Homo-oligomer: A and B are copies of this chain.
Amino acid sequence: MKFGSVIGIVVSCLGIAMGATMEGTNVAVVLNVPAILIVLVGTLGATIAACGLEAHLKLPKTYKKALMPDDLDLVGRVDELVSFADQARRDGLLALDEAVKGIDDPFTRKGIQLVVDGTDPDLVAAVLDAENEAMRKRHAAARAPFMQAGALAPTMGIVGTVFGLVNVMNNLNQPSTLGPLIAAAFLATLMGVGSANVVFLPMANRLKELSEAELHFREMTLEGILAIQAGDNPRVVAEKLMAYVPPKDRPSEDEPSSTASAQKQAA
């Protein structure tokens, strides 16, 4: 369900817009330049101050990733690793040297390369763990602006509304202008709470879930690489790695996937 986040944001905006229209409000009113300046530019500045410029230059890429995440093919990766385990057991670890070039995923390639180079198992695990930990920190840094914006935007909305109300209070002697002025003041709150609820907080949560899924994927890969290096039986490798795959995605025993066949050959 790659486009879940896009669908969700569209559904949320449609629901709010339709409800507001039925109440009689002209929805276009939210495109209020002062409110946008105070809430969105004010929040952007505060998140830059909080998270640094670098994380913000990557925002378009981060947004794209959150809205259209890569698919993580757990079963395909298990098959790939089990076939390496099979080959290593038959022809030795050095036989993987040629296979290394054909691996797309840089993490898997680096791991198998280390194994082929005869690196110490503890060092293989340490280097790959450090890569994962670094990825976790990069992901956390990439979603930090969303989390900060989710926390700051509603209060920036209050700043905008209070500024508007200060203006209202200084014009109490012109009652005919009060209504529209108060309405305009409230638009900042609307913009702040709305952007946080519909965009920033859901994006932050989505990115967190995607990061966890990718780490889970890499942990499975790391376990597989270490099992290959230890010379484990391909059946045992498949058994270990399948526990990382949700039950409903696991190939049934009769299915002619390479994993299932490795299990049979080994049995």
Interface residues of A (CB under 8 A from B): 1, 4-5, 7-16, 18-20, 22-25, 29, 33-54, 119, 123, 126-127, 130-131, 134, 137-138, 141, 144, 148, 151-152, 154-156, 158-160, 162-167, 169-173, 176, 178-190, 193-194, 196-199, 201-203, 205-206, 209, 216, 236, 239-240, 243-244, 246
Q: Are A45 and B12 in contact (CB under 8 A)?
A: yes
Q: Can you show 25 pairs from A to B with CB atoms below 8 A apart?
A: A5-B48, A7-B48, A12-B43, A12-B48, A16-B159, A20-B38, A20-B160, A23-B34, A46-B198, A49-B198, A49-B202, A50-B201, A50-B203, A52-B209, A123-B239, A127-B243, A130-B244, A134-B243, A138-B246, A158-B189, A159-B194, A162-B190, A163-B190, A169-B182, A172-B178
Instruction: Note all chain B residues with C-beta closer than 8 A to A18.
Output: 34, 37, 41
B159 and A46 contact, CB distance less than 8 A = no
Complex: A152 Cα to B8 Cα, angstroms:
14
Closest 3 CB pairs of A and B: A12-B45, A15-B41, A8-B48
Copies in the complex: 5
Q: B12–A44 contact, CB under 8 A?
A: yes
A54 to B158 Cα, complex, angstroms: 34
Let me know if B19 and A160 touch, CB within 8 A: yes
**Contact indicator A152/B201 (Cβ below 8 Å):** yes
**CA of A5 to CA of B179, assembled, Å:** 38
A12-B46, A23-B34, A38-B15 known; A1 and B165 CB under 8 Å?
no
Residues of B within 8 A of A7 (CB): 45, 48-49, 53
